[in-house]
A and B are shown apart, each in its own frame.
Chain A
Amino acid sequence: MIQAIGDKIDVYAKFSKGSLIPQGFTWKQKDYPLKKLNFSFRKQEGLTVLLYYSALGETAAYELEFNLKTFIWRLTKAYLPGS
C-alpha cells in the first residue's frame, strides 16, 4: 500500500562523494532510521528543484522530498509491505 503524507520532517543526512544521502528522519517525535537508499530522482517546478529519495526503513519504505530552495524536507509517501 502506498500512503501519501506530505508532512514536514527533520532529516539527518550524509554528504559523501558529491551526494546527499539521507540516513534517517524524525516524524511525529519518532525516529526512523533508514537502512538503504533505493532510488533518487529530481523534479523541477519553475526554478525550484525538488530532490526525491526512496529509502528502506525498518518496517516500511519511504519517499522523502528535499526542496533545494527552502531547504525543507517532507515525508511524501510511505510504502507499506503487503501492498
Chain B
Amino acid sequence: MDKDLKPTSPPGGLKIKNCHSFGPNNRTILCLDMDSYFATVEQQENPYLRAKPVGVIKAVGRTCVIAASKEAKKYGVKTGMPLSDVRRLCPKIILVPTDMEKYFYVTKRFADICRRYTPLVEMFSIDELFMDVTSSEHLFGGAVIVALEIKQQIKKEIGDWLSCSVGISYNKFLAKLASKKNKPDGLFVITPENKDDILLSTELVEVCGIGRRLEKRLSSMGVRNFSQLRQLPDSTVQAQLGSHWPAVLRRMAYGDLEDINSVSYNKKDSVITPDQISAQKSVSRTYTLFADTYNLRVINQYIRNLSEETAWKLRRMKLVGRLIGLSIRGADQGAWNHKTFKIPTADGLLIAKVCEQLFKSLNWPNPVRFVGIYVSLLSPNSQTSLLPKDQKRHEILKTMDYVNDKFGQFTLYPAQLVDGEQVKPEVNGFLGDKGFRILHQ
C-alpha cells in the first residue's frame, strides 16, 4: 500500500478501519465513474486545453456537444446541448472532435487496473464500471484503500489529469448513486446506516433507473422525492405505470434494488457479470446522418452499411439472432419495426434485405436523419447449414471477415456501398456492445 493512501473516513457513512463486506447481503460493490471522461482525455493529451472549457463534438459539422470538461460544465454546458446554446453560455468554449478508439483504449486500461483487485469487474458504459470486491478487499486493507489505490494508479499509469469518482456500497444501485455524490475526484460510501439519509436527500432523477420521463409521470402522481415514493401505494403505481413497476419502485425507494440493469430488475441477487457475451441481449448499430434525406437509395445504403457491421459483430461473438429490427428517426418523429424468423442469422445481406422491407412497411413520410439496426433473440452459432447455397455464402463471409480483420475494416465491402458515405465500426459511449468490445479489442 502506498504511504499516501490514508484510510481516513471518506464522505459518506463508512467506518473505514476495516472495511469488509457490509449491508444485508454482505457484499462490497464499487462503482468507478471517470470524471468528464472524453473532455478530460483530450485535456490529458493536449496540455493547452487544460483548465479551459472544452466541448467534445462527434465530428466537424455536428450540431451538439456530446461531452463537456468540468470547466465547461461550470458555465452550464451539458451533454447533448445544441452548439448554438453552448456558444451562448460559453463563448470561449474550445470544440474538439471525438476519438472513440482513443477513449476506449483508456477504458480498457482503467478496467485492467481494476482487475488487479478482483476478477469481478463489469463494464457499465465506456466511462463506468462496477467491481465486486467482497471476497478480495481484505487482501488490500478494505474497499476504501482499493478505491484510493485505483485512483492513484489511474493518474500514475494513464495520465495525471484524469480523475475518477468512486462510490462504495453493498449493491450496484447504491454504489452508482454514491459515485455521483462527491464529484469530481470523489469517494463516497453508502452503508445501511446512512442509506436513508442519503436517499431522502436525493432527487429522484439522480438515481439510475429514473429518467426524466418517469420522473414526470411520478410527479403527476404527486411524487417528487424518495419520501413520497415510499408512501406511494403499489396499486397506484400499477394502475399508472403497469405491473412491472410496483416492485421495482418499492426496492428503489428503500435502496434495496440489487441490480440497475432494467432487464434484471427482478433478480434478487446483485450480479457482476464479467462474462458479458453471454449476457448480451441484442447487437445493434445506429447512426445519425449529417443531413436529412428522402433518397431511398441512400437510405438503403445506410441500412446495408449498418447491417453489415451488426452482422460482423454477431459473427465475431459467434452469435446468431432470430429477430431483426429497424429504427428510424427524422423530423422529430421516430418509428421502429421488427420481424422474427425461425432460422437465426448473422448475414448482413439478409439483415439488410429484411430491414429494407421493414422500412418500406413503415411508409415513412418524413426525411430520415437516424437509422438503427438491431438483432436480438440471440443464440450461439453452433450449427452450419447443409444447403450448398448457404455453405457458399458462409465461405464468402468467412473470407471477407478474414481480409477485413487483416487489412482493416472496409477493405472489402458490398458493391452497394461504393458511392455512399462509409460508416465504419466504432465504439459508442453507452458501450451497448460491451461484450463484443471487451472480447475483441
Contact = CB atoms under 8 A, between A and B. Distances in A.
A61 B44 CA distance: 11
A71 interface: no
Nearest to A1: B48
A54 B45 contact: yes
A4 to B, nearest CB: 11
A64 to B, nearest CB: 12
Contacts of B408: 45-46, 48
Interface in A9-63: 38-39, 41-48, 52, 54, 56, 61, 63
Contacts of B407: 45-47
A79 B46 contact: yes
Interface residues of B, number: 24
A37 to B, nearest CB: 10
B47 A41 contact: no
A82 B105 contact: no
A34 B94 CA distance: 25
A41 B106 contact: yes
B236 interface: no
Contact of A47 (B44, B405, B441): B405
Secondary structure at the A interface, as helix, strand, loop or mixed, is strand
B105 A83 contact: no
A80 interface: yes
**Most A Cβ at <10 Å: residue of B44, B45, B102, B159:** B45
Given A43-B105, A46-B407, A63 B94 contact: no
B68 to A, nearest CB: 16
Nearest to A52: B102
Interface residues of A, number: 21
A61 to B, nearest CB: 6
B69 to A, nearest CB: 13
A52 B103 CA distance: 13
Majority SS at the chain B contact face: helix
Contact of A46 (B46, B47, B94, B405): B405
Contacts of B41: 39
Given A38-B159, A39-B159, A41-B102, A46 B45 contact: no
A68 interface: no
Contacts of B52: 83
A46 B406 contact: yes
Contacts of A38: 44-47, 159
Nearest to A36: B47
B47 A79 contact: yes
A2 B106 CA distance: 21
Contact of A83 (B48, B404, B406): B48
B46 A61 contact: yes
Interface in B92-135: 94, 96, 101-102, 105-106
A82 to B, nearest CB: 7
Interface in A60-80: 61, 63, 79-80
Given A79-B45, A83-B49, 16 more contacts: A38-B44, A38-B47, A39-B41, A39-B158, A41-B102, A43-B101, A43-B105, A46-B408, A46-B409, A54-B44, A61-B48, A63-B45, A79-B47, A79-B49, A81-B48, A83-B48
Interface of B: 41, 44-49, 52, 94, 96, 101-102, 105-106, 158-159, 404-409, 411, 441
Interface of A: 2, 38-39, 41-48, 52, 54, 56, 61, 63, 79-83
